[in-house]
Amino acid sequence: MKIVVLPGDGIGPETMAVTVDVLEAVSRRFGLRLELDHDVTGHESLKRHGATVTQSLLQKVKAADGLMLGPTATYEFKDESKGEINPSKFFRKELDLYANIRPARTYPGLPNKVGAFDLVVVRENTEGFYADRNIASGGSEMLITKDVVVSLRRITRECCERIARSAFELAMTRGKHVSIVHKANVLRIGDGMFIDMCQAVAREFPEVRVDDFIVDAMMAHVVRAPERYDVIVTTNMFGDILSDLTAELSGSLGLGGSLNAGRDHAMGQAQHGSAPDIAGRDVANPFSLVLSAGQLLGWHGQRKGLPDFLRAAQAIEEATVAAIAAGDCTRDVGGKLGTAATGRAFVQRLLA
C-alpha cells in the first residue's frame, strides 16, 4: 500500500511524525509493506511551490492507495488566486471523498463528561452548505450588496443516496441502528429529500433500526444519552458540528479520528484543526491522527480483502485504549507525556 504523507501546519508536523512511526511499526508487525511517500502541503508548499496544493501532488495522490493529511491553516488561506487553496477541500472535492466517517467512543480510565458510549457520525462530505465546494466552478456564497450575503446549500439525490448507503453498510458491521439527523422542519425540500433517500436505502437493510432527529434536539440528546446511538447519518455542516461535539464528549477533540472515503480513494485526517495555540510545544495529542491512519488501513483492508490490514487497524485502536488506560498519553487525556514521548510509548506497545 502506497500512502502519501502530508504533515501540514500548526501541530501537523508533530502529530504526523508520531503517525508515521506508528504506520512503520504496524507495517513491520503485520508485514504490510507500507510505502510512505513524504510530500508537503499548506504553508510549506506555498513557500516551495507558490500554492498550498499542486496538480502534480494531486496526480501523485491519485496514483497512490491512500493519503494522510495533517491539519492545515485553512483559516489563513483566503485567496485562491495567490495559491491559498484549502487542502482539505481540495482533496475532498478532487477525489470525490463523499463519506466522512467520524467515530467517537469513551475509553476506560479516561473521565468523560457523560456515560460510556461508542458511536460513529457519517457526514456527507461534498455538498450541503459548503459554498467553497458545492458548485463546479467559483463559489456559491455571494455578496449581493455590501450588506447582503447569500450562501447556497446544495442537496442532491445522488449524494444523499450514497452517504445513506455508507451509513447503513457501516451499521451492519456494528449495532444495526441508524439515526438520521436533519432540519426538515425548516429546510423542508432539501432535508426532506435527505430523509426520503435515507428511508429508501433503509428498505434494503431491514435488520437495521432507523430513527430520525432534528439537529438542534440531537445536540441535547447526544449530551444527555450518547449511549443510545450507533451510526448517525447527516448532511455536511450538521455532521461537522455534531462530530466535534461527540469527539469532545468522548474525552477530547484530540481523540477524534476521521476518514474521508470515496469510491476509489481515501484520506485519513485528524478531526481537529491546526491548533496554532499549542503548535511546536510538544503537547498536542497525536491520537486523532493516529486513529485516522488506523481507519485508512482498515478501509484498504476491507476494500482489497486483506486481513492483515484489518488486524493492523484493530491493533491501533486497541493500543490507544491501552495507552489511555496506562496514562501513556498527553495531558488533555489525563497523561503526563509530551507528543513525541506518547508516540514512542505507543510504538513500544505495538511492537511488544
Kindly list the catalytic residues. 130, 183, 216, 240, 244
Closest contact distance (angstroms) between CB of 233 and ligand ATP is 23
How far is residue 13's CA from residue 26's CA, in Å, rounded to a whole number? 20
For 205, phi then psi, to 5°, come to -130, 70
Residue type, 8: G
Which residue in 133, 265, 272, 300 binds ligand ATP (CB under 6 A)? 272
Q: Is 274 in the site for ligand ATP (CB under 6 A)?
A: yes
Q: Give the H/E segment covering residue 77.
A: none
Residue whose CB is less far from ligand ATP, 279 or 310: 279
84 binds ligand ATP, rule: CB under 6 A: no
Binding part of the chain for ligand ATP, among 24-32, 35-43, 130-138, 278-286 by CB under 6 A, reads: 278-286
**Cell numbers at 53, concatenated:** 496544493
Contact 213, 179 (CB under 8 A): yes
Cβ neighbours for 98, distance < 8 A, ≥ 6 positions apart = 124, 125, 126, 159, 162, 163, 166, 261, 262
CB of 288 vs ligand ATP, minimal distance in Å: 5
| Smallest separation, CB 238 to ligand ATP (Å) | 18
Q: Does 78 bind ligand ATP (CB under 6 A)?
A: no
Kindly state whether residue 273 participates in binding ligand ATP, applying the rule CB under 6 A: yes
Tell which residue, 25, 13, 71, 1, has the closest CA to residue 344: 25
Distance CA 58, CA 75 (A): 21
Q: How far is the CB of 42 from ligand ATP (least distance, A)?
A: 10
Residues 6+ apart with CB under 8 A from 172: 205, 207, 208
Residues 238-257 that bind ligand ATP (CB under 6 A): 253-254
Nearer to ligand ATP, 235 or 258 (CB): 258
Shortest Å distance, C-beta 92 to ligand ATP:
15
Instruction: State which amino acid sits at residue 345.
Output: A
CA distance linking residue 42 with residue 49, whole number of Å: 10
When the beta carbons of 73 and 178 are compared against ligand ATP, the nearer one is 73
Q: Is 275 among the residues that bind ligand ATP (CB under 6 A)? A: yes
Size of the site for ligand ATP (CB under 6 A): 19
Q: Cell match 485502536: residue?
A: 317
Measured in residues, the chain has a length of 352
Q: Cβ-closest residue to ligand ATP?
A: 273
Q: Which positions lie near ligand ATP, rule CB under 6 A?
A: 10-11, 71, 73-75, 253-254, 272-278, 284-285, 288, 332
